[in-house]
Structure 1
Amino acid sequence: MIQHDPGALYPDHLAVLCRRAETALARGGFDHLVVPSGTLHYHLFDDRDYPYAVNPQFKAWLPLTRVPHSWLVFTPGKRPTVIFHQPFDYWHVVPDAPSGWWVEHFDIQVIRKPEEALALLPRDRSRCAVLGEAQSTLGEWVPNNPAPVLDYLEYHRAYKTPYEIALMRQAQVLGVRGHRAAEAAFRNGADEFSIHMAYCAAVGQDANELPYGNIVALNEHAAVLHYTELGRTAPQPLRSFLIDAGASALGYASDITRTHAAHGHDEFAAMIGAVDAAQQQMCAAVRPGFDYKQLHVDAHLSLMGVLKDFGVLKVSPQTAVETGISAAFFPHGIGHLIGLQVHDVAGFAAGDAGGRIERPAGHPYLRLTRVLEAGMVVTIEPGLYFIDMLLDEVKQAGHGASIAWDRVDFFRPYGGIRIEDEVLCTDGEADNLTRPEFVLANG
């Protein structure tokens, strides 16, 4: 697959952001867009800071993710300005001077102290839309986050520019590299912590650089949807391995999940294969005009078909969905928007002027309810799990006879299965960003 150069695509990306910002400011009645990069957060009663996380509204404009106390200023009709904080500091590494393919597009002002930004920001603060967290306040510059501006910018962030897609492809390459290393460690009998370390080493990113905490789950731990404990001892026997882990590329995230069976556990491996086949059909369904809510409901039917085929369900897939049984085995959403944030914003937005599209009844954890359009990148992550808490609720609801409990007992020690790819919605067929990278990595 051709990997496009982000630098060559950046000017057009910046032009799109400028147009969006102009419209957003006009809707809100403001003259300037002001975006702080964010500041450090400190532990309570301590002088030790949490890992720095850049304001997503800032890194949308700039490939800079580690420059706290910096600012982006955009005024329609003018070149955008970057107020770049490069302190005199011998306690920490100081950011390098601005360089690279983005600098020629900005007026750059270097400051040594955060308060020096005050003289460089627009004169009339009341005419500014300031997008950021309260922690970013500098003197009288308090983020106001006006809804008309935020609603517009966040809604349109769902439509990725070629520059953004190029970086998301880079994040796929890194994530797949980590997944292959993690699977090899699992096959060699490693514990969860060691698998995690193998992943980080292969990606070249530590836990603070990854877009989210790695989920590395062996055996029953795969039934905990966000399992992040990282056990230091491998269970015996090793039965299964679920890894949900991504990587970052200049502020853009990948989010990939795979499930593996240990050698000799052929029936569980077959179930993984069945979920994988169903997942690929779901990915292929990503088309302009397709309601993502419907894709989620269709996924329930498909997954219940897998459980019926493997003898776990005694009732039809349709009955399992109608009675709520399916939610015990597939309790989360089919996926979400992804980009600058793993769970990207505006997944429920009715339009760029606000409003909300609610989730379907009985599906409280779906993170995206919009109709798909070209340019959107979504995750597709169906899962099947054997979670005692939820299965007990099925019994309490009077549906225990619908499930073959001996088959549940057989599969419970494996925890569960989740398969996740990222898919670009195009004007034609779905473009799976993840699968081709696994094919290339396998040679």
Structure 2
Amino acid sequence: MSSLEATYANHIETLQRRTAEALARAGLDKLIIHSGQTKRQFLDDMDYPFKVNPHFKAWLPVVDNPNCWLVVDGVSKPKLIFYRPDDFWHLVPEEPHQFWVESFELVLLSQADQVFRHLPRDMANMAYIGEYVEVAEALSIGHFNPDAVLSYLHYHRAYKTDYELLCMREANRIAVKGHEAARQAFLDGDSEFDIHLSYLEAVGHAEHELPYGNIIGLNQNAAILHYMHQQHTAPKEHLSFLIDAGATYNGYAADITRTHCYRGHGTFAELLAAMNELERGLVARVKPGQSYVDLHIDAHRRIAALLNAFGIVEMEPEQMLSEGLSRTFFPHGLGHSIGLQVHDVGGFMADDRGTHVSAPDEHPFLRMTRKIETRQVVTIEPGLYFIDSLLEKLKATKHGDAVNWKLIDALRPYGGIRIEDNVIVHQSGPENLTRDLGLN
């Protein structure tokens, strides 16, 4: 028996308990969970790549089959209505036979619009969980994505089962292979597009199978936080390379970022090495009871200290933090929860009733305000960038004279630095999924 198979039964038991409690709180009988539907491109006869409902793939690793349904009540064996059309245009999924199938009462569906034949007759006190509310209305399901149910499930989804942790370790293993291949392609002088192709080949994913579009920026493009263009022509000189790219396994995501440069690139290479150690120091602080907001602010404090130590900004780190100067160089949040989705749900929740905890006004792009607890998986991704538009705004302030603009101009062509690891929270300390696989 594989480790996945051995842990899957307990995973289903956990989901059953969560479902039973969510239903009890909402006074509902069952959840009807829809895998989703294909979406037709406007004025075309082609569909967009299918993306499965994360609530569906939480139960089973079926990520590529629309028109499937789960009927769950937290007590009875979950019912899986699995779509297998009579179709000669497209590949028809095999009848399920994998390790997970015994956990479900399996029903095969040949026509999507006949699903009502396999659903409960009276669904007035049941809740549809999915994107296509108009389908739920047509089926006479009584409730649609009720807040009480979603709040409970989203909050508890942050606590990963052993099965989920195994999947996330494997997703990281796959992604690390891609990052190693991409780094070599950079060193070989390839274009952004060719580096992207090297990554895809190494991870064995088609583009639509990636958890998000690869960010692959050479030189100054590394200063564009969500750079997605992938130039086909290599620049005359390779100064720096930032890659933010992940992988998936059984529906779970990895999200890893690294920045590279050639040896001998002086101040930028030293700054990159310092940022690498800074990120390691932040990961070491990931422990139960730690405030993620405080960890984010500590990242700003450490980055401010680097800016001062390298002579980029002549100001004491604490003053830099209080005046907001560090946000010019580190404008995004420290990281986020990760799992079934890259930016997973529940990051702003104080409890399982949905009490919202907003990001601080001075850090509006922070994606997690929740206290760190065991079995959570978070990313830690500090950054230090030289972004023209933000630097121009800083230059126009009263603090512009504190900046070494000559040094800034020397560093602009390198774009910036971001380093990101995926971290499991344990009582005994953090487990760095990414670095434990040998990616430095």
User: TM-score if structure 2 supplies the norm length?
Assistant: 0.97
1:333 deviation in Å?
0.2
The yes-or-no answer on 1:115 pairing with 2:109 is: no
Distance 2:48 2:396 in 1: 43
Change (3 A) 1:230 1:330: same
Unmatched 5+ stretches in structure 1? none
Distance 1:200 1:19 in 2: 38
Distance 2:371 2:153 in 1: 18
Which residue pairs with 1:168 in the alignment?
Answer: 168
Which residue pairs with 2:425 in the alignment?
Answer: 425
Which residue pairs with 2:327 in the alignment?
Answer: 327
User: Letter of the aligned partner of 1:31 in structure 2?
Assistant: D
1:77 deviation in Å?
2.6
User: Letter of the aligned partner of 2:178 in structure 1?
Assistant: G
Distance 2:195 2:155 in 1: 37
Which residue pairs with 1:202 in the alignment?
Answer: 202
Deviations 1:205-257 (A, max 9, x none): 01100100000000000000000100001112110000000000010000000
Which residue pairs with 1:41 in the alignment?
Answer: 39
Deviations 1:330-373 (A, max 9, x none): 00000000000000001101210111111122001000000111
User: Letter of the aligned partner of 1:357 in structure 2?
Assistant: V
User: Letter of the aligned partner of 1:197 in structure 2?
Assistant: L
Equivalent residues in 2 for 1:84-123, closer than 5 Å:
84-123=82-121
Distance 1:6 1:313 in 2: 50
Distance 1:135 1:175 in 2: 35
Deviates more, 1:20-29 or 1:74-83: 74-83
Which residue pairs with 1:148 in the alignment?
Answer: 148
Deviates more, 1:128-137 or 1:344-353: 128-137
User: Letter of the aligned partner of 2:103 in structure 1?
Assistant: H
The yes-or-no answer on 1:188 pairing with 2:166 is: no
Equivalent residues in 2 for 1:298-377, closer than 5 Å:
298-377=298-377
- Count, aligned residues: 437
Instruction: Give SS of 2:337's match.
Output: coil
Which residue pairs with 2:259 in the alignment?
Answer: 259
1:269 deviation in Å?
1.4
Note the aligned Cα RMSD (angstroms): 1.3
Equivalent residues in 2 for 1:124-139, closer than 5 Å:
124-134=122-132, 137=135, 139=138
Alpha carbons 2:36, 2:132 under 8 Å: kept: no
Distance 1:282 1:387 in 2: 24
Deviations 1:264-322 (A, max 9, x none): 31321111110010000100100111000000000001011112121101101111111
1:127 deviation in Å?
1.2
User: Letter of the aligned partner of 1:282 in structure 2?
Assistant: L
Deviates more, 1:130-139 or 1:58-67: 130-139
Deviations 1:11-52 (A, max 9, x none): 000000000000000111110011000001111222211100
Alpha carbons 2:79, 2:107 under 8 Å: kept: yes
Unmatched 5+ stretches in structure 2? none
Alpha carbons 1:25, 1:129 under 8 Å: kept: no
1:397 deviation in Å?
2.8
Instruction: Give SS of 1:274's match.
Output: helix
User: Letter of the aligned partner of 1:48 in structure 2?
Assistant: M
The yes-or-no answer on 1:233 pairing with 2:233 is: yes
Instruction: Give SS of 1:125's match.
Output: coil
Distance 1:307 1:221 in 2: 21
Instruction: Give SS of 2:209's match.
Output: coil
Instruction: Give SS of 1:181's match.
Output: helix
Which residue pairs with 2:48 in the alignment?
Answer: 50
Alpha carbons 1:36, 1:136 under 8 Å: kept: no
Alpha carbons 2:15, 2:74 under 8 Å: kept: no
Distance 1:237 1:331 in 2: 27
User: TM-score if structure 1 supplies the norm length?
Assistant: 0.97
Distance 1:371 1:241 in 2: 33
1:402 deviation in Å?
1.8
Alpha carbons 2:68, 2:81 under 8 Å: kept: yes
Distance 1:99 1:126 in 2: 33
Distance 1:394 1:296 in 2: 21
